[in-house]
Amino acid sequence: MNLAYNAATRDGALSVGEVNRYLKLLMDNDALLSSVCVRGEISNLKYHSSGHLYFTLKDEEGEISAVMFRASAASMRFTARNGMKVRAYGRVSMYEKSGKCQIYVSAMTDDGVGALWAEFERLQRKLSAEGLFDETKKKKLPKLPTTIGIITSPTGAAVRDMINVTGRRWPSAKILLYPSLVQGADAPASLCRGLELLNAYNACDVIIIGRGGGSIEDLWAFNDERVVRAVAASEIPVISAVGHESDFTLCDFAADCRAPTPSAAAELAVPDRNEYRQRADDAFFRLEAAFRKIRSDKATALTSLRKRLELSSPVARLANEKRLLSLKSNALNRAINERYRRSKDGFSNLSGRLAAMNPFAVLGRGYSVAMDERGNLLTSANELKVGDRVAISFAEGRAITEVIETEPCNKGEIK
């Protein structure tokens, strides 16, 4: 690459890309930088979803960025953590696009624990032995908080994220911000003061304490023994939200709940109004369905009771008896009428037959009846002698006669 020629043709001006390419070329062709072993302490470690590792190697004299690609990271026999001292093997080169000098690590071995990490583990063992991290001492978070206390830097992205998430999920919640230092020598006292004031005035229902991500040094205030004890002693439930998901501090163990990020802490602190609205809608629909079923069941039961009451009611029984009486009365009338008809027909028949046998009717046809003086019916002339008086009855009237002569005749013969 002829930078002198390019500079001459452009009035001595080089592009940024040309400079970066030249520096990368120099570094890639440097025998020392092409294969190095760098001893340092891991900081700002990030596990990328692709499997790559991005971190910083540092010591008392400086720091340098490092990247370890997935294939190389998969061959490690230990889990890299912030604060670990390691030996990194690889090459030093330039990332051309950003002009950033970094180590491309192909292998890494444990070189002992860093000073801060050793202090972290010492405090963790000490405070754990005292029972500050016992799960039985953890307080439950309130389900419907009205006020959220936040102890963090008022200018960082973390506080904006927490305010935005809280406002979106539960707008009715008030936010009480205690502006605290979150980094440096004065940060522990500032954090403790925030916890002390919020507890003294019982100013909120839950406290979120935390900050955004950073190196182990940046987050060290949340490993300070004073802060950890203040978190554990808080009467108000505390959510620890320090750094990113891969970052852990002693405040996380002492708090009642640990959130992987500040935004996640806000989600844990307040419910989701949309979820509650959906639950309320579901409850209303279930209540409405239950009410409809109860109303239907009661209506059915009422109808059944009404029918039973109608059947057992004196009015219903009287009406039923009245109907039965009416039916029997009609049946009796029909029977009487039928009996009367038959009797009438029989009477007419008997009357006809009686009329046919009436002796007076026979007299009306020209016959007469003869009786002696004693009123005895005479049926034969042999019963008379000359001189007897005989009463003869005709259809109209009768006559008294005297027998002058009798004359015999054959039976059935009329003379």
**In whole angstroms, what separates CA 141 from the centre of its chain?**
23
Token pair for residue 180? 């605290």
- Burial bucket for residue 155 (CB in 10 Å: 0-12, 13-18, 19+): exposed
pLDDT tens digits, one per residue of 264-307? 999 999 999 998 888 888 988 999 999 999 999 989 988 888 88
Choosing from 206, 239, 269, the residue where a domain stops is 269
Go through the chain and tell me how many residues it has.
415
Strand 174-179 with 206-211, pairing: unpaired
pLDDT at 10 over 70: no
Question: Are 292 and 265 members of one domain?
Answer: no
> What CATH number should be reported for the domain holding residue 33?
2.40.50.140
Residues 6+ apart with CB under 8 A from 30: none
Q: How many helices (H) and strands (E) does the chain have?
A: 12, 14
Question: Are 207 and 317 members of one domain?
Answer: no
Question: Are 11 and 97 members of one domain?
Answer: yes
Q: Please list the helix, strand and coil fractions of the chain in percent, rounded to the nearest 5, in that order.
A: 45, 20, 35
User: Range of 244's domain?
Assistant: 142-269
In a domain, 330, yes or no: no
Q: Using CA atoms, how far apart are residues 241 and 346, in angstroms rounded to an integer?
A: 119
Q: Using CA atoms, how far apart are residues 266 and 177, in angstroms rounded to an integer?
A: 13
389 or 364: which leads in pLDDT:
389
Question: Are 86 and 155 members of one domain?
Answer: no
In this predicted structure, which of 6-10, 25-29, 118-122 has the lowest mean pLDDT?
6-10
Q: Using CA atoms, how far apart are residues 170 and 192, in angstroms rounded to an integer?
A: 28
Instruction: Name the domain count of the chain.
Output: 4
Q: Using CA atoms, how far apart are residues 247 and 339, in angstroms rounded to an integer?
A: 115
pLDDT tens digits, one per residue of 312-350? 777 777 777 888 888 888 888 888 888 888 888 888 888
Question: Are 162 and 216 members of one domain?
Answer: yes
Give just the sign of the alpha carbon dihedral 10, 11, 15, 19.
positive
Residue 414: predicted pLDDT: 54
Measured between alpha carbons, how far is residue 372 from residues 3, 81, 289, 378, 403 in Å?
192, 167, 113, 7, 11
Q: Using CA atoms, how far apart are residues 274 and 146, in angstroms rounded to an integer?
A: 17
- Burial bucket for residue 261 (CB in 10 Å: 0-12, 13-18, 19+): buried
> What CATH number should be reported for the domain holding residue 240?
3.40.50.261
Token pair for residue 345? 């027909």
Q: In what order do the strands lie in the sheet with 174-179?
A: 174-179, 147-152, 206-211, 238-242, 257-258
In a domain, 38, yes or no: yes
Question: Are 319 and 365 members of one domain?
Answer: no
Its pTM surpasses 0.75: no
pLDDT tens digits, one per residue of 143-168? 999 999 999 999 988 999 999 999 99
pLDDT tens digits, one per residue of 14-62? 889 889 999 989 988 988 898 999 999 999 999 999 999 999 999 889 9
Classified as helix, coil or strand, 238 is strand
